[in-house]
A and B are shown apart, each in its own frame.
Chain A
């Protein structure tokens, strides 16, 4: 019998990037998993949590506790939501920890081989801060992209934030956008910038749309369909 995983779409994934979530599902199915989508899922509460609204965050985070079981790993196509669920949600909601995995870390641990859908492409990978520093995930997404045939060019300062930061993006919009510009410019001659976090993606893609910078693509999409059409 196929191994089960629970897919957490995240609110941004569900509402803004449903294709990336579908790509996540595709990758998991291709790898032979039985993918469950708990219908009662909503959001991990991170937007409110990071803005300091703990009561509001708790109210929303409880939907996660009600929706997900502890019987199968939870896979999330978002570094920051995975961080929220792994590091903050149990204490916030007074619940036991979950076996939660950011997508690339999960595929990496399971030794999943991805098809060569990025043969000949030059890509850059952008680390989401929470994924990099709180979950310590930096190699798996890069190895997967390389395994898919891509040549990776390093960003000038891969450790620097892209400027999204949740409500920071609208509290300090000028600084936030300037940080995005630095990040996009640092991708050099890459054909696309790949990231595993819907927050960073929305911000960087939104900025690139205004400046004509390179395409910004979700890791799941890059792996499931190729980073460029």
Chain B
């Protein structure tokens, strides 16, 4: 399951090294995460009692997850009663097959897509391409990445490392003439390039920030309006989302929208908040003829009832990425092609299995900033700590490391063992910077000498 997002152990460090050496990326990511951090901080400060709001959000999310089946069932019935279709899919392959099937049935040649991390998770565009269907991303960031042949490095701001000069180059290539590296010119170019896609697409594929059980609505939160175009212009609208994004009522949704917009982009509300409820009804002038919601599991239900269940509360706001000092240095790519930062470091191993993403729980200094920034109070850094324990317990951590810590712990389990082992370590000190972790440490830092007399020897 989810092979698409598994991470080989050495990859994080390799990509991180490359990103650290790229001054251009460092500058872009530093600027953008700082901006999003400032906006979020100000937005939180503008709420009369942000802690109460966070608590309310946490409560709604955890209660919903606790009886997920029931809410999903209510949602399905609500959608069907309005003439829509819900497709529950266990795996990525199943979800891809379902979307391809829908597209084929309506003989679709062109799909207009708005931003969806779930579609990235299952590599939907590849599946569509294999079926001979062209999918065009219409979220500006995603469109830029599609032109560049890259994947999102941030769950909210996918092209966070691209500067306007990068974008101008990509857009110029499409138009076959230079596009000025100015925001207005770039926006106009994007509009020019995408307008036809909206108007001629047979199917619109969107994500869903939430879906509401009581009304059967799919909720799209965007700032560009492309989600609204994708969901209303083409004949068929397919929304694709994870099982955990269900919200029981519109009242609950209101709370979560307040948290999402403020935590993600520092807005009180995003420019467009769209609720799509079923296909076009008689007498309505617009909207799709068919309305489908693909609800993906892909490993999520394995978390239900476990210690890690709270991870399903995540509303994908990206606040934890923007505060993470490790994310800020490595950019998203190091975490893999889809989910990055602290939420990715927790979620990916849980979805694909620890063995296949063993470096991610360690891709953190455990500074705790993520947990403090999470609008629904997921204990992200504590989860990272617990995943590290699982790595050891399941024997994924190397035997050398396990033996080293075990020997160390026996030596230090008695004061005499501590005194003896540290006296020996002092004798072996000249070797310290030449082997093992000491050597790694000394590659960028001076190794601190062990004091000639320990504090305890002075008393």
Q: Which residues of A contact B (CB under 8 A)?
A: 9, 11, 13-19, 21-22, 37, 39-43, 45, 48-57, 59-60, 62-63, 67, 129-130, 133-134, 159-161, 163-180, 202-203, 205-207, 209-210
Contact = CB atoms under 8 A, between A and B. Distances in A.
Contacts of B408: 48, 56, 60
Interface stretch (B110-118, B251-259, B322-330): B322-330
Closest 8 CB pairs of A and B: A165-B365, A52-B388, A206-B445, A56-B409, A161-B367, A177-B444, A129-B367, A18-B455
A209 B364 CA distance: 24
B368 A172 contact: no
A106 B404 CA distance: 35
B459 A37 contact: yes
Contacts of A177: 444-445
Contacts of B400: none
A40 to B, nearest CB: 5
B17 interface: yes
A174 B368 contact: no
Contacts of A51: 388, 392, 401, 405
B450 A16 contact: yes
Interface stretch (B154-162, B185-193, B413-421): B413-421
Nearest to B454: A14
Contact of A16 (B326, B363, B448, B459): B448
Interface of B: 12-13, 16-17, 20, 323, 325-326, 328-330, 359, 361-369, 371-372, 385, 387-393, 397, 401-402, 405-406, 408-410, 412-415, 418, 422, 437, 440-441, 443-451, 453-456, 458-459
Contact of B364 (A13, A54, A168): A168
Given A50-B388, A55-B409, A59-B409, A175 B326 contact: yes
A133 B13 contact: no
Contacts of B20: 174-175, 178
A50 B385 contact: yes
A166 B388 CA distance: 13
Nearest to B391: A52
B409 A175 contact: no
A164 B402 CA distance: 21
11 contacts: A16-B451, A40-B415, A53-B397, A60-B413, A129-B369, A160-B328, A164-B365, A167-B362, A171-B362, A174-B13, A174-B16
A178 B388 contact: no
B409 A48 contact: yes
B415 A39 contact: yes
A161 B325 contact: yes
Given A18-B451, A48-B405, A159-B323, 10 more contacts: A16-B448, A21-B455, A49-B385, A50-B366, A52-B397, A53-B392, A164-B365, A168-B364, A173-B441, A179-B365
A63 B415 contact: yes
A176 to B, nearest CB: 7
B441 to A, nearest CB: 6
Given A54-B392, A174-B20, A13 B402 contact: no
Nearest to B417: A42
A21 B459 CA distance: 11
Q: For B364, B408, B448, which residue has the most chain A Cβ atoms within 10 angstroms?
A: B448
Contact of B369 (A17, A41, A161, A205): A161
Contacts of B390: 52
Contact of B450 (A15, A37, A60): A15
Q: For A39, A42, A177, A180, which residue has the most chain B Cβ atoms within 10 angstroms?
A: A42
B458 A210 contact: no
Contacts of B17: 174
Contact of A56 (B368, B405, B446): B405
A60 B445 contact: no
Contacts of B405: 48, 51, 53, 56
